[in-house]
Amino acid sequence: MVTNNSLQARAQADLPTEYGNFKVIAYAVDQEPPTLLIYKGDLKSVKAPMVRVHSECFTGDVLSSLRCDCGPQLHAALQKIEAAGCGAVIYLRQEGRGIGLVNKLKAYRLQEQGFDTVEANQQLHLPVDSRSYEVAANILQDQGVSHIDLLTNNPDKIKQLSLEGITIDHRIPLEIPANQFDQKYLQTKKRKLHHLLSEVD
Ligand SMILES: Nc1nc2c(ncn2[C@@H]2O[C@H](COP(=O)(O)OP(=O)(O)OP(=O)(O)O)[C@@H](O)[C@H]2O)c(=O)[nH]1
């Protein structure tokens, strides 16, 4: 299993989780942190498997931070894929929408002073969102998948994956109710980044 000249499947294993039994494959280039494909079922056997392309959020995914909806989105995606019986999470190492964990924490400090998530990145002279979905598309293609049902609220993710050759048959919303700490974060995603968040004002 090899995707292109450099990205390779380096290791695979079973991954039993709270939500059900999955398999995991680590795709990597040289010593870079691996992109993980967590999946269940035969992805090629369905016309459009359910897929979550998830950007790393150490604070949300690992530390259960309430400042964002990332952790609950990841867990909800695993639950939905388990219920569907087939599907995948692709875990991209694009912390902080591409700015990295240190800069994300600097952006958090600025948010504590009143800036929103977009303004905080701008204050740091960093891109608001520098993510690429090419690796996700390469992994799907390596798995023989060209059509997916994508779990997302982010129209840019749909657009970019489409440009990389993946057809999004359906968007499956992945809305997590706001908590007392992430209301402004979700509002900014809706107002400035045009996320499809029907439950946010
Ligand atoms: N720069 C920055 N990144 C953040 C912040 N909060 C979360 N993130 C990162 O945002 C990324 C997730 O992107 P989101 O815009 O929340 O959601 P998305 O993945 O684009 O869209 P969905 O598919 O709908 O979840 C992860 O890499 C997080 O680390 C923040 O306050 N500032």
What is the predicted ipTM?
0.97
Which residues form the pocket of ligand 1, taking CB atoms under 6 Å from any ligand atom? 55-57, 68, 70, 73, 94-97, 99, 104, 107, 117, 121, 152-154, 157, 174, 189, 195
Residue 25 in domain? yes
Q: What is the CATH number of the domain that holds 66?
A: 3.40.50.10990
- Which of 136, 141, 135, 172 shows the shortest CA–CA distance to 154? 172
Q: Is the pLDDT of residue 2 over 60?
A: no
Q: What is the mean pLDDT of residues 119-139?
A: 97
pLDDT of residue 1: 58
Q: pLDDT digits over 149-189, tens only?
A: 999 999 999 999 999 999 999 999 999 999 999 999 999 99
Q: Are 138 and 3 in contact (CB under 8 A)?
A: yes
Q: Rounded CA gap, 27 and 3, in Å?
A: 9
Residue 145 in domain? yes
Beta strand segments in 30-128, E: 35-40, 50-55, 87-92
Max Cα-Cα span within the chain: 50
Q: Which amino acid is at 193?
A: L
Q: What is the mean pLDDT of residues 137-158?
A: 98
**Residues labelled as active-site residues:** 129, 131
Say which DSSP state 34 is in.
P
Residue whose CA lies nearest to ligand 1 atom number 25: 152
Compute, in angstroms, the gap from residue 21 CA to the centroid of ligand 1: 27
Which atom in ligand 1 lies closest to the alpha carbon of residue 108?
A: 31
Residue 109 in domain? no
Residue 16 in domain? yes
* Mutational pocket test of ligand 1: of 54, 97, 179, the residue with most ligand atoms within 8 Å of the beta carbon: 97
**Number of domains the chain is built from:** 1
Residue 113 in domain? no
Residue 106 in domain? no
Q: pLDDT digits over 89-122, tens only?
A: 999 999 999 999 999 999 999 999 999 999 999 9
Residue 119 in domain? no
Residue 115 in domain? no
User: Containing domain of residue 75, as a range?
Assistant: 10-94+131-190
Q: What is the pTM of this model?
A: 0.96
Which atom in ligand 1 lies closest to the alpha carbon of residue 107?
A: 32
